Structure 1
Amino acid sequence: MPGKLYVTATPIGDPDDITVRAVKILNEVSFVICEDLREAGKLLSKLGLKKELVTLNEHDEAENTPEIVQRIVEGDSAALISDCGTPMFADPGHRLLDDLIAFGVEVVPVPGASSLTAALSVSGLHIEKFYYYGWLPVKKDARAGELTRIRKFREVIIFLETPYRLKNIMKDICDTFGRGIETVLAFDLTLPSEKIFRGSAGSILDKVAKQNLKGEFVLIVDNRNHKTLHK
């Protein structure tokens, strides 16, 4: 009888945000599939757990997926985690899920922390629907082209980005949408350094530049009516 794959959310910052169910699953599975051995090892150590760790990342996904699939099909159960938050958002593992589903293996969600929903919950915006974009292109010209393309979407638009591109992304948002576009920047969510900036893109850019902020962030742009705030 095949095992199961548990797609397991882990904390996005504060380690206390791990769920009771996630701890139970991590303790019970045969092995844990992770992006990075060091990050996964730190998490399990904090939980007092010792588990076999198998990596699945952009460098070894093609090589490791068949072996993982075989183990689960033959009866082992596993937890899939990302470095933080809920897996499968621009994370490795899609090939693994496709193969397991094709074999009829049960794939089980273990929900928990998500930077996306955390940012939305404190945005102060009245949101019934939104457009999730995710990560913008690395190269400036490609990024500018994408922002110009999605500017026509009259929706709340959500971006996720890496720590060292915050200032550049904010500049590009100002250039494309205008400095007055209503924006929310959720920075280092659940960490002691957490900050929530609300206001115009221009005012947030000025704060980011002044404080030289570098950290994980979620950026929310309210493009529904292209409402312009004080710049």
Structure 2
Amino acid sequence: MAFALLEGRTTDVVDMDAQPVKTGTLYVVGTPIGNVEDITLRALRVLKSCSVVFCEEFKVGARLLRAHRIDKPLESLNEHNEVEATERVLEYLRQGKDVALISDAGMPVIADPGAFLIRRILREGLPLVVVPGPSSILTALVRSGFSTDQFLYAGFLSRKPEERRRQLQALAEELRTVVLLETPYRLRQLLSDAAAVMPQRHAYLACNLTLPYETHHYGTFAELWERFRHSRFRGEFVLCFEGRPV
């Protein structure tokens, strides 16, 4: 900073050549949903160029970066620390550093943490770029063979049995194809409830999409429940079912 002497006092003089600190950009980067090769060239370029990568779980994030020979600092942003991690992201951006946000699989924010961060970025007016990538929701929808003209993504249904059945009863009236996600340890309960609410509705269950051992199961909910009522599930699942016949 330049100084000038004015009437015996030292006063600041604005340096007209000084440049404001350029803020960094947050890149929301889609990553593979299973097969590590399902990542775009643009996503790889962004991950290599960013100063730091925020991931959902260190183990999963490190595995992805290692698979593509990317050496970048990793920090966590998950459902347990999203508020605190958001402040760290903002601090990096204000320092002019680019930050990448990834999830364990697929697009961040969709059934994953990150929405709070996105809202803060928009409120602060900071640069934000979404780098699209794989989605288990769309992959399953395309593979289902059901109508894709219109569809409803209903996410994860309630853990509470009574509330989950009420949600299924409402979804049974949908005319659009419905897409649900579920965890391995609640999938049997979901199939049981769906079979009770709409036994003859045609459905598709996608298991471990894009992996060598992916499996695909079609049938009515009654048939799927009968097939899997004694099964133990592992992995990732997407459930699609047809809209109500008109």
TM-score, scaled to structure 1: 0.92
Q: Which residue of 2 aligns with 1:206?
A: 226
Between structures 1 and 2, the one with greater helix share = 1
User: Is the CA contact 2:168–2:197 (under 8 Å) kept in the aligned structure 1?
Assistant: yes
* Superposition deviation, residue 211 in structure 1: 4.9
**Matched AA of 1:199:** G
User: Using a 3 Å threshold, how does the CA distance of structure 1 residues 61 and 212 change in structure 2: closer, same or farther?
Assistant: closer
Match of 1:2 in 2: 23
- Counterpart code for 1:155: R
Q: Which structure: larger Rg?
A: 2
What does 1:58-97 align with in structure 2 at a 5 Å threshold? 58-97=79-118
CA distance in 1, matches of 2:211, 2:86: 33
Which residue in 2 is equivalent to 1:52? Answer: 73
> Paired residues, what number?
225
Match of residue 129 from structure 2: 108
Deviations 1:79-113 (A, max 9, x none): 11001111111221112111111222221111111
Secondary structure of the corresponding residue to residue 16 of structure 1: coil
1:1-231 to structure 2, matched below 5 A, reads 1-177=22-198, 179-209=199-229, 211-225=231-245
What secondary structure is seen at the aligned counterpart in 2 of 1:126?
Answer: coil
Structure 2 distance, partners of 1:100, 1:149, is: 35
Paired amino acid for 2:233: L
Closer/same/farther in 2, CA of residues 144 and 15 from structure 1, 3 Å limit: same
TM-score under structure 2 length normalisation: 0.86
CA shift digits 1:121-168 (9 cap, x unpaired): 111123200111000111212211221233222221110111222211
CA contact (8 A) 1:27 1:49 kept: yes
Give the Cα–Cα distance (whole angstroms) in 2 for the partners of residues 223 and 99 of structure 1. 36
Structure 1 window deviating more from structure 2 (66-75 vs 184-193): it is 66-75
Partner of 2:19: none
CA distance in 1, matches of 2:91, 2:153: 34
- For the Cα contact (< 8 Å) 1:166–1:214, is it kept in 2? no
Q: Is the 8 A contact 1:12 1:113 kept in 2?
A: yes
Q: Which runs of 5+ in 1 are unaligned?
A: 227-231
User: Runs of 5+ in structure 2 lacking a partner?
Assistant: 1-21
Query: Partner of 2:26: helix, strand, or coil?
Result: strand
